[in-house]
Amino acid sequence: MSDLASHLPVLQVLIPLLAAPLCFLLRKEAIVLPFTIAVSFACFAISMNLLSQVLGGDILVYEFGGWSRPYGIEYRVDILNAFVLVVVSGIAAVVFAVGPGQARRVIPEGREYLFYSAALLCLTGLLGVTITGDVFNIFVFLEISSLSSYILIALGLNRRALMAAFSYLIMGTIGATFLLIGIGFMYQATGTLNMVDMAHRIQVLGPTKGVLVALAFVMVGISIKLAVFPLHHWLPNAYSYAPPLVSAFLASTATKVAYYLLIRFTFGLFGAALVFETVGIDRLLLPLSIIAMFVGSIAAIYQTEFKRLLAYSSIAQIGYMTLGLSFATQAGVSAGLIHVFNHALMKGALFLVAACVTWRMGGTNLDVMKGLGQRMPFTMAAMVVAGLALVGVPGTVGFVSKWALVSAALEVDALWIAFLIMASSILALVYVWKVVEIAYFQTPEVELERREPPLRLLIPTWILAGAAIYFGIFSSYAVDVAELAAQQVFMVGL
C-alpha cells in the first residue's frame, strides 16, 4: 500500500490518461458514465491526499524511472499546485457527474463517449500541466488539454461552435507555440529543462538577452491561454457556443491552470526580482487587469445570451486574478489564488445553471429565460446565489475574494485601485441583476408548467452554488491554503 501511496503524483495524471481511451473503447453510455465518475472522483481523492501531504511545507518530488534532477523528468507537488489540482479535479468530479442520460441537449446525443474521452483527456492535460516539474512537459500537457478542449467546444449544437473551436484552435496553437519558443530560449540560456534547476540558473545568469526574450514569449503565450485583455477574443465565442457542460468545466479549470502557469513562471522560474523590478511587467499587467475588469463587465451588461454574458464576466474576473498578481506581493498572489478557487465555484455553478436552462428551453438566450424564476425555482435560486457571489455579497465566496484583493491593494497604498475594484463589482451587480429581473419579473412568451431539470443536473449545480455560500461563510479553509501557497511561493520559490 505504501508503495502505491508513493506513486500518487503520477497516478494523478496516469489514471485519467488511461481512462480516456478506455471510454472511447467502451462506448456504451451505461458503462462510460459510472466509469468516468469513478475516475474523476479518484483524481479528486488523490489531489486532496496530495494537498494534505504538502500542507506542512514539504515538497513531494516524484522522479520518473529513478532519474534524478536534472537528467530525468520529475513531478513536483507543493502547496501551490496541489491547491490548483484540487480545484481542477474537484470541478471535474462535480461536472462529470452530470450524466448525459436524461440530460438531453446538454451533450449531443450519441456522442456521449466522445465527450467523456475528450473531457478526461482534457483533465489529464490540465492536471499534467499543474503537477509537472519539467518545462517541456508543460507544453506537451498544455497541448493535450488544448486539443481536447477544441474537440469539446466543437461538440456544441450550434454550427457556430465549429467556428468558435477553429478560432480557438488557431489562437491556442499560436499561444502554445509562443510558449514553446520561450521554453526553447530558456533552454538555450540555461541548458536544462527541470524547473528547479532552471530557476536556479536563471537567477545566476541574471537578465541576459536570451532570458528576456524567453520571458516575453512565455508571457504572451500564457496570456493568450489565460485570456488576459486584450488577448481574450477567443474566449467569448468558445464559451458561449460550447455545450454548457463543457463551458462549466473549461471556465472553472482551463483559465485557472493558465493562471497557475503565470504565477509559476513569474515567481518561480524567472523570479520576482527579474519580472517585476528589472522588466517591470506590473506596469503593463496592472492597467490591463483594470481595463479587463471594466471592459469585461461592461460588455457583459450588453449581452443578450446568458453564456456569452458569463464569458465576458469571466474576462473581468480574470482581470481580478491578474490584478492580484501584478501587486507582486504575497497578499496579492494569495488574493489571486483565493479568487481562482472562488471563481471556479461560482462560474461553475452559473454555467451549470446554463446547462439546466438549455435542458429545459433548448438554449440560453436571455429571451427564453423570461419568467423562469417561477418555472424552474430551484435552478434560478442557484443562479441568484451564484450571481450574488459574483457580485461579492457578504456571506458568499465573492466577498472573500474581494476582501482579500482590496486588502492587498490597500497594503500597497493603492486606495484608487481599491475603489476601482469596488466600482467594477457594482457593474457585476448590473449584469447579474439584469438576468435576475428577466427570470423573475418578465412574463414568458409561451406558458410553461413548473418543471425542474433532472436531479443529476440539479444536484451538481447546487453542490457548486452551496459551496459558494459555504466557503463564503467558512472561508478559512480556502484562504489558509491560498495564503500558505503564496507564502511558499515567496519564501521558498520553487
Partner 1 sequence: MTSLANQILSHWNYLAVITLMMIGLYIAISRGNLVKKVMGMSVFQTSVILLYVSMAKVTGGTAPILIEGRDDIIYSNPLPHVLMLTAIVVGVATTALGLALIVRINEAYGTVEEDEIVAMDRAEDERDLRSEDAS
Partner 2 sequence: MDIEMGLDAHATIIFWSMILPLIGAVGVVALGRWPNLRDSWTIVVGISTFTCVTRLIEPVMAGARPSLALPGNMAGLGLALEVEPLGLLFGLVASGLWILTSLYGFGYMRGHEEVNQTRFFTCFALAISAALGIAFAGDLITLFLFYELLTFSTFPLVTHAGTEAAIRAGRLYLGILVSTSVLFLLLAILWTANLSDTLRFTPGGILDGKIAGASAGLLLLLFSYGVGKAALMPFHRWLPAAMVAPTPVSALLHAVAVVKAGVFTVLKISIYIFGIDFLAKDGLSDILMGIAAITILAASIRALSLDNLKARLAYSTISQLSYIVLGAALANSAAAMGAGLHILMHALGKITLFFVAGAVMVVAHKTEVSQLDGLGRRMPITFGAFCIASFSIIGLPPFGGAWSKWYLVTGAFDADQPWMVVVFMLSSLLSIAYLMPIVVRAFFRPLPEGVPDGINEAPLLILLPICATALGCFVIFFYADSVYRLLAPAMGLGG
List of residues contacting partner 1 (CB under 8 A): 136, 139-140, 143, 147, 150-151, 154, 159-160, 162-163, 165-166, 169-170, 173-174, 177, 180-181, 184, 187-188, 193, 367, 445
Minimum distance from CB of 484 to partner 2 (Å)? Answer: 13
- The footprint of partner 2 (CB under 8 A) covers 388, 391-395, 399-400, 402-404, 406-407, 410-411, 415, 418-419, 422-423, 425-426, 429, 433, 437, 441, 472-476, 479
**At 194, phi and psi to the nearest 5?**
-70, 135
Minimum distance from CB of 282 to partner 1 (Å)? Answer: 28
Place of cell 491547491: 83
**Which of partner 1, partner 2, none does 140 bind, CB closer than 5 to 8 A by kind?**
partner 1
- Which CB, 167 or 442, lies closer to partner 2? 442
Minimum distance from CB of 154 to partner 1 (Å)? Answer: 6
**Which of partner 2, partner 1, none does 136 bind, CB closer than 5 to 8 A by kind?**
partner 1
**Which of partner 2, partner 1, none does 400 bind, CB closer than 5 to 8 A by kind?**
partner 2
**Cα 214 from Cα 192, distance rounded (Å):** 14
The grid coordinates of residue 334 equal 494569495
**Which of partner 2, partner 1, none does 163 bind, CB closer than 5 to 8 A by kind?**
partner 1
- Which CB, 167 or 407, lies closer to partner 1? 167
Other residues' Cβ atoms within 10 Å of the Cβ of residue 385: 25
- Which CB, 237 or 297, lies closer to partner 1? 237
Helix (H, G, I), strand (E, B) or coil at 273: helix
**Cα 94 from Cα 464, distance rounded (Å):** 8
- Which CB, 187 or 433, lies closer to partner 2? 433
**Cα 388 to chain centroid, rounded:** 20
Minimum distance from CB of 429 to partner 2 (Å)? Answer: 6
* CA-based nearest residue to 350, from 278, 249, 493, 454: 249
Structural Rg of the chain based on CA atoms = 21
* CA-based nearest residue to 384, from 462, 297, 470, 295: 462
The grid coordinates of residue 394 equal 457578504
- Which CB, 129 or 421, lies closer to partner 1? 129
**Which of partner 2, partner 1, none does 177 bind, CB closer than 5 to 8 A by kind?**
partner 1
**Which of partner 1, partner 2, none does 150 bind, CB closer than 5 to 8 A by kind?**
partner 1
Minimum distance from CB of 477 to partner 2 (Å)? Answer: 10
**At 110, phi and psi to the nearest 5?**
80, -10
Place of cell 466577498: 399
- Which CB, 16 or 398, lies closer to partner 2? 398
**Which of partner 2, partner 1, none does 412 bind, CB closer than 5 to 8 A by kind?**
none
Other residues' Cβ atoms within 10 Å of the Cβ of residue 475: 21
- CA angle at 113 for the pair 111 and 117, rounded to the nearest 5°: 120
The grid coordinates of residue 217 equal 514569449
* CA-based nearest residue to 243, from 95, 105, 348, 73: 105
**Which of partner 2, partner 1, none does 41 bind, CB closer than 5 to 8 A by kind?**
none
Quick check: 254 and 260 in contact, CB under 8 A?
Answer: no
**Which of partner 2, partner 1, none does 425 bind, CB closer than 5 to 8 A by kind?**
partner 2
**Which of partner 1, partner 2, none does 73 bind, CB closer than 5 to 8 A by kind?**
none
Minimum distance from CB of 471 to partner 2 (Å)? Answer: 10
Minimum distance from CB of 430 to partner 2 (Å)? Answer: 8
- In b/e form, how buried is each residue of 330-339, taking b as 16+ CB within 10 angstroms? bbbbbbbbbb
- Which CB, 44 or 168, lies closer to partner 1? 168
End-to-end CA distance of the chain: 29
Helix (H, G, I), strand (E, B) or coil at 109: coil
- Which CB, 97 or 338, lies closer to partner 2? 338
Residue 59 DSSP label: -
- Which CB, 64 or 419, lies closer to partner 2? 419
Minimum distance from CB of 377 to partner 2 (Å)? Answer: 11
* Residue 231: its H or E element: none
The grid coordinates of residue 123 equal 483533465
- Which CB, 64 or 474, lies closer to partner 2? 474
